[in-house]
């Protein structure tokens, strides 16, 4: 009856958390990963990735602004969400969301972007016209001081913010892993590894995301791609991927070896309902294939065009694979009965508020935000300007 | 295009100058690199030599940013004071008044004591038979409305064909000692109350109609 | 004697409501009910359950439970294997209209009524982000429908599957142990409707409650004891195959 195999507790038959709840950890993962890439340059002084520094920060901001939307759409009473700020329950990991989000948005990301761009903001507030001028003037917070000492202070404070931002990024996404990992009722979720796996897969998706965006935007702007930059990103992506894959394999092997009461049911689920999304998309296409492709670039000296193609394809596969991972965790965790005697199916609707179309919209919305941010706070120097100058 | 000295005084190079180029010129990249290394020395030097007021002048924007945070926090505290329900936290991390609200929900089943206070004759019969511990509303349905105001609602007598069968239809799943029959074989189509009085169902002198 | 008792029993609920509005905000539902005097639980006697479904129907009537959602339900087990790993379990519409006739077969059958276990260390109240679900001072796990966001985290956290999101109200919902009845001296709707006494309300703080003697003289279990939820619904004579 209606997609149920075997026995499920009567209240378990319909899924509670939909594709929107798959989207939320995916988006915050991209935020955390993009920020870690930015911090590679700022804190760990990896000069090679500097061309993506500002883009990574803006990407993180664009995605962070969209992050609460899938949650709010999912709630039965979205207008009650301020209750999480006013009376957060200290024993609930989900209650942390409001404050961690706000902290990360304002005290880390917005502050760091503002400090890094402040000189440009002040200059643009003087040189632009109309509404845009007003926008920039508000962003200056009333100060037009861009003397070298004030910029030096910005630089120092920005460094500290990035330093604090790294554990904050881990917290922003790690707590999402803990939301699942701390649920003893659900053996597919309950694991101390869950926050760690989420963090590393977030880093993988964020880094791949910025790499793909950088390559795509450079192509759109008809700019040369800085190969030293993407080669370095590719290298970091490869090694972090290895760690991520090892963690996921550790979880899997541990489960298979211990074979506790949930194992038969979960094993059956992975081999039937989740076969395509877990084995084919997440593991093979989304993890093994990109790792092999990136691994090839690490050991074999390939021409630039081949490397570009590999990075683009591997990056896209990674992004799909990490989405599949979130899907397998969230949806997979609700497909089997807590009696371990049955399974249900997820019927994703199309146009309801938790359907596929809103999910697609929310995935594309950050790109629209990014476009606005890139126009407002351009991350790069203009080549055409150089050419005009050189001709002088 | 004019070539002028860099606007940042610590830098000795000359740059091409338009505001956009100041922002994005290649020269800016080179220039800002040297500024970065110089800045730390500059900052260290400035803290020693210049004093707090001068520092404040150069860090004013940070104080404004922090000030906005503090202001937002204060606004939050004020709003919170008005928005959080008064009974929240009374007994724990929840709205204490909700307990009373839940306790005040309407009752649908009156409870057997309410029935027995009026229908003591039925109680006398029932208490001697096998259905002694079957409460009235288990068969007659929810009757608080009737108990509240007997004339306002007259209960409908249940259909024994459906009612009795629910419990007494034989099934291998039911406990062995429980009285169960196959209705079609047992009564050959006759309604149960032909032979069994529901309040005391035993088929002896007192039971059969 | 009967007349005056009837008057009291009719007036008491009315008085309780009136009293409640007089003492606005006081959680006590009747003037002499003190929460700290009680610690509610329930006893379910498996050998007595005949799977008639009366309890499921009564609960639905008493609490306006929407179709397709269940505050209580009955499962029928058929255990044929000796290692109890794969019982055949059914719960057609929660057992609301009873169960299909089972043919005589090898193995054993029994019915297991399920409901919220009103856990003393409940994982569901632990995860609520705003404090919309809680355990009352008298041991009943309740949901505040005016405060609940409908995030369904508590539904995920319950190991027993007893929670659901109300399809119209969009808030979490579950068995309230008929709190509105037990605070007025009545028993729960499911216990009232059970024809065999398989379900019995119990007050662990009441020294005269028969449950104390019962717990001393019978083998009782809770569901999923390894979860350490402090479940307070005790099952007498429950088979090891019960999930």
Q: Report the candidate in C49, C64, C76, C78 with the shortest Cα–Cα distance to residue C193.
A: C49
Radius of gyration of chain C from Cα atoms? 19
C56 assigned to some structural domain: yes
State whether residue B153 sits within 8 Å of chain C by CB: no
pLDDT tens per residue, range B121-133: 999 999 999 999 9
- Give the residue ranges of DSSP H helices in A261-330: 263-271, 289-299, 304-330
- Does the global pTM surpass 0.90? no
Domains: count for chain A = 1
Cβ–Cβ gap A340/C150 under 8 Å: no
Domain count, chain C: 1
Interval C148-160 mean pLDDT: 97
Least-confidence region, from A43-52, B35-44, C101-110: B35-44
Among candidates C85, C91, C129 on the partner chain, residue whose Cβ is nearest the Cβ of A95: C129
Range of the domain at C154: 37-236
> What residues contact residue B157 under an 8 Å CB cut-off, 6+ apart?
none
pLDDT computed for residue C82 by the predictor: 75
Q: What is the mean pLDDT of residues A334-354?
A: 93
In a domain, C10, yes or no: no
Query: Is A138 a member of any domain?
Result: yes
Give dist(CA A208, CA A241) in Å, integer.
10
Q: How far is CA C189 from CA A158, A173, A208, B164, C180, in A?
A: 63, 45, 58, 20, 10
Q: What is the CATH number of the domain that holds C91?
A: 3.30.70.20
Quick check: B100 and C27 CB within 8 A?
A: yes
pLDDT of residue A391: 42
pLDDT reading at B162 higher than 90: no
Cβ contact, residue pair C127, A92, below 8 Å: yes
CA distances from B191 to B138, B165, B200, B203, B208 (A): 19, 10, 16, 14, 13
pLDDT-derived band at C9, boundaries 50, 70, 90: low
Does C242 map to a domain? no
Cross-sheet strand order for the sheet of C88-90: C88-90, C72-79, C108-115
What is the percent of chain C where pLDDT is above 70? Answer: 87
A308 touches chain C (CB under 8 A): no
Q: What is the CATH number of the domain that holds A286?
A: 1.20.1630.10
pLDDT at residue C14, rounded to an integer: 55
Q: Is residue A70 part of a domain?
A: yes
C105 domain-assigned: yes
pLDDT over threshold 90, residue A263: yes
Q: What is the pLDDT of residues A192-215, one digit of tens each?
A: 999 999 999 999 999 999 999 999
Cα separation, A226 vs A47, in Å, equals 12
Residue of C62, C146, C147 for testing the chain B interface, max B β-carbons within 10 Å:
C62
- For residue A272 the two structure tokens come to 């039937």
Reported as a single tens digit per residue, the pLDDT across A168-188 is: 999 999 999 999 999 999 999
User: What is the Cα Rg of chain B in Å?
Assistant: 44
Does residue C3 lie in a domain region? no
pLDDT of residue C27: 35
C118 touches chain B (CB under 8 A): no
Give residue-wise pLDDT tens across range A94-105: 998 889 999 999
The pLDDT of residue A392 is above 50: no
Domain assignment present for C69: yes
* Segment B176-196 mean pLDDT: 88
**Nearest chain C Cα to B121, which residue?**
C2
Domain-located, residue A4: no
CA distance A11 to chain C (A): 6
Tell me whether residues B61 and A157 touch, CB distance under 8 A.
no
ipTM for the predicted complex comes to 0.91
pLDDT, residue C4, reads 65
- pLDDT-above-90 percentage for chain C: 81
List, in order, residues 6 or more apart from B189 with CB less than 8 Å away: none
> Are residues A60 and A35 in contact, defined by beta-carbon separation less than 8 angstroms?
yes
Helices and strands in chain B: count of H runs, count of E runs: 9, 2
Contact B46 A386 (CB under 8 A): no
- Read off the pLDDT band of A390 (50, 70, 90): very low
Has residue A166 been placed in a domain? yes
Average pLDDT over chain A, rounded to whole?
Answer: 92
Nearest chain C residue to B134 by CA distance is C195
The answer to whether B200 and B126 are in contact (CB under 8 A) is: yes
Least confident of A30-34, A103-107, B186-190, C12-16: C12-16
Among the partner-chain residues C70, C89, C129, the one whose CB lies closest to the CB of A84 is: C129
Strands in C40-45's sheet, in edge-to-edge order, are C199-203, C40-45, C233-236, C220-221
Size of interface B-C (CB pairs under 8 A): 165
Q: Please, which pLDDT band fits residue A381 given cuts at 50, 70 and 90?
A: low
B86 pLDDT higher than 70: yes
Q: What is the reported pLDDT for C215? A: 93
In a domain, C243, yes or no: no
* C107 found inside a domain: yes
Q: Look at residue A5 and tell me if it is in a domain.
A: no
B31: pLDDT strictly greater than 70: no
Q: What is the mean pLDDT of residues A278-286?
A: 96
Distance from the first to the final alpha carbon of chain C: 49
Give yes or no for B121 touching C (CB within 8 A). Answer: no
Q: How far apart are CA A370 and CA A361, in angstroms?
A: 14
Between the CA of residue A169 and those of A105, A166, A196, A200, C242, what are the distances in Å? 10, 5, 13, 11, 43
- Cβ of C24: how many Cβ atoms within 10 Å? 8
Q: pLDDT tier at C10 (50, 70, 90 boundaries)? A: low
Closest alpha carbon within chain B to C75: B173
Quote the pLDDT of residue B158: 86
Q: Residue B1 CA to chain centroid, in angstroms?
A: 67
Task: To the nearest 10°, report the CA torsion of A141, A144, A150, A152.
Answer: 90
- Domain, as residue range, for A221: 10-385
Residue B207 has pLDDT above 50, yes or no: no
The tokens describing A100, both together, are 């961690």
Nearest residue, CB atoms, B42 vs list A90, A107, A148: A148
φ and ψ at A79, to 5 degrees?
Answer: -75, -5
CB contact under 8 A, A389 and B19: no
- The stretch A230-247 carries a mean pLDDT of 96
Interface touch C6/B118, C-beta < 8 Å: yes
Q: In the structure, what pLDDT confidence band is assigned to residue B59 with cuts at 50, 70 and 90?
A: confident
Encode pLDDT of C191-219 as tens digits.
999 999 999 999 999 999 999 999 999 99
Q: How confident is the model at residue C28 (pLDDT cuts 50, 70, 90)?
A: very low
> For the residues A88-95, what does the mean pLDDT come to?
94
Closest CA to C139 of C121, C165, C163: C121
Which of chain B's residues have a Cβ under 8 Å away from the Cβ of C22? none
Please state whether beta strands C40-45 and C233-236 pair in parallel, antiparallel, or not at all (unpaired): parallel
Residue A1: inside a domain: no
Q: Do B93 and A87 touch (CB under 8 A)?
A: yes
């Amino acid at each position: 009856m209606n997609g149920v195999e075997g026995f499920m507790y009567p209240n378990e038959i319909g899924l509670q958390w939909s594709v929107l709840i798959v989207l939320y950890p995916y988006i915050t993962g991209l935020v955390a990963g993009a920020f870690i890439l930015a911090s590679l340059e700022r804190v760990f002084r990896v000069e090679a990735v500097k061309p993506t520094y500002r883009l990574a920060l803006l990407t993180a901001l664009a995605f962070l602004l969209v992050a609460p939307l899938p949650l709010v759409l999912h709630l039965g009473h979205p207008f009650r969400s301020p209750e999480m700020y006013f009376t957060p329950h200290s024993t609930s990991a989900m209650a942390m969301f409001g404050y961690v989000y706000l902290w990360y948005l304002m005290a880390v990301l917005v502050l760091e972007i503002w400090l890094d761009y402040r000189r440009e903001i002040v200059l643009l507030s003087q040189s632009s016209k109309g509404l845009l001028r007003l926008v920039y003037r508000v962003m200056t917070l009333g100060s037009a001081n861009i003397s070298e000492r004030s910029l030096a202070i910005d630089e120092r404070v920005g460094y500290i913010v990035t330093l604090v931002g790294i554990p904050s990024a881990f917290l922003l996404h790690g707590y999402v892993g803990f939301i699942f990992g701390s649920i003893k009722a659900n053996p597919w979720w309950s694991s101390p590894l869950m926050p760690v796996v989420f963090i590393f897969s977030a880093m993988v998706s964020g880094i791949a995301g910025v790499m793909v965006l950088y390559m795509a935007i450079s192509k759109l702007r008809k700019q040369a791609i800085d190969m030293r930059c993407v080669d370095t990103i590719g290298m970091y992506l490869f090694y972090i991927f290895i760690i991520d894959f090892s963690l996921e394999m550790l979880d899997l092997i541990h489960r298979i070896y211990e074979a506790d009461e949930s194992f038969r049911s979960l094993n059956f689920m992975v081999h039937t309902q989740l076969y395509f999304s877990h084995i084919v998309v997440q593991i093979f296409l989304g993890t093994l294939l990109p790792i092999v492709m990136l691994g090839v670039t690490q050991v074999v000296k390939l021409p630039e065009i081949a490397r570009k193609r590999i990075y683009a394809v591997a990056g896209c596969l990674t992004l799909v694979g990490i989405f599949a991972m979130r899907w397998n965790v969230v949806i997979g965790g609700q497909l089997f009965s807590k009696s371990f005697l049955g399974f249900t199916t997820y019927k994703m609707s199309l146009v309801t508020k938790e359907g596929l179309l809103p999910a697609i919209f929310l995935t594309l919305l950050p790109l629209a935000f990014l476009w606005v941010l890139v126009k407002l706070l351009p991350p790069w120097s203009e080549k055409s300007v150089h050419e005009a100058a050189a001709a002088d | 295009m004019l070539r002028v000295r860099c606007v940042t005084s610590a830098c000795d190079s000359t740059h091409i100058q338009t505001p956009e180029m100041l922002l994005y010129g290649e020269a800016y990249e080179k220039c800002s690199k040297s500024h970065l290394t110089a800045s730390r020395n500059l900052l260290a030097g400035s803290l020693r030599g210049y004093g707090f007021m001068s520092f404040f002048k150069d860090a004013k924007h940070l104080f404004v940013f922090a000030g906005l945070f503090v202001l937002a926090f204060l606004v939050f505290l004020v709003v919170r004071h008005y928005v959080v329900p008064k009974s929240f936290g009374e007994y724990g991390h929840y709205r204490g008044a909700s307990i009373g609200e839940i306790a005040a929900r309407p009752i649908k089943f009156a409870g057997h004591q309410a029935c027995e206070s009026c229908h003591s004759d039925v109680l006398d019969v029932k208490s001697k038979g096998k259905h002694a511990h079957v409460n009235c509303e288990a068969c007659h349905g929810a009757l608080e409305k009737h108990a509240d105001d007997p004339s306002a609602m007259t209960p409908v007598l249940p259909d024994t064909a459906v009612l009795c069968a629910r419990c007494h239809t034989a099934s291998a799943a039911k406990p062995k000692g429980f009285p169960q029959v196959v209705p079609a074989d047992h009564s050959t189509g006759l309604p149960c109350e032909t032979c069994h009085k529901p309040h005391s169902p035993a088929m002896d002198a007192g039971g059969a109609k | 004697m009967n007349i005056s008792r009837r008057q009291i029993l009719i007036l008491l609920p009315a008085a309780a409501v009136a009293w409640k509005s007089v003492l606005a905000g006081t959680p006590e539902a009747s003037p002499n009910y003190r929460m700290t005097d009680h610690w509610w639980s329930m006893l379910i006697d498996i050998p007595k359950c005949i799977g008639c479904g009366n309890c499921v129907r009564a609960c639905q009537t008493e609490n306006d439970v929407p179709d397709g959602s269940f505050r209580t339900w009955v499962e029928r087990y058929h255990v044929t294997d000796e290692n109890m790993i794969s019982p055949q379990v059914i719960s057609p519409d929660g057992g609301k209209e009873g169960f299909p006739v089972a043919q005589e077969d090898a193995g054993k059958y029994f019915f297991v009524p399920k409901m919220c276990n009103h856990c003393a260390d409940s994982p569901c109240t632990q995860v609520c982000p705003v404090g919309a679900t809680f355990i009352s001072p008298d041991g009943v796990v309740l949901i505040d429908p005016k405060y609940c966001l409908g995030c369904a985290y508590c539904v995920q956290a319950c190991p027993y599957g007893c929670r659901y999101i109300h399809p119209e109200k969009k808030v979490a919902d579950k068995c309230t142990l008929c709190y509105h009845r037990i605070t007025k001296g009545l028993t729960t709707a499911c216990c009232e409707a059970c024809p065999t006494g398989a379900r019995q309300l119990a007050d662990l703080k009441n020294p005269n409650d028969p449950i104390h003697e019962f717990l001393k003289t019978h083998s009782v279990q809770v569901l999923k004891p390894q979860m350490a939820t402090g479940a307070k619904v005790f099952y007498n004579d429950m088979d090891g195959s019960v999930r």
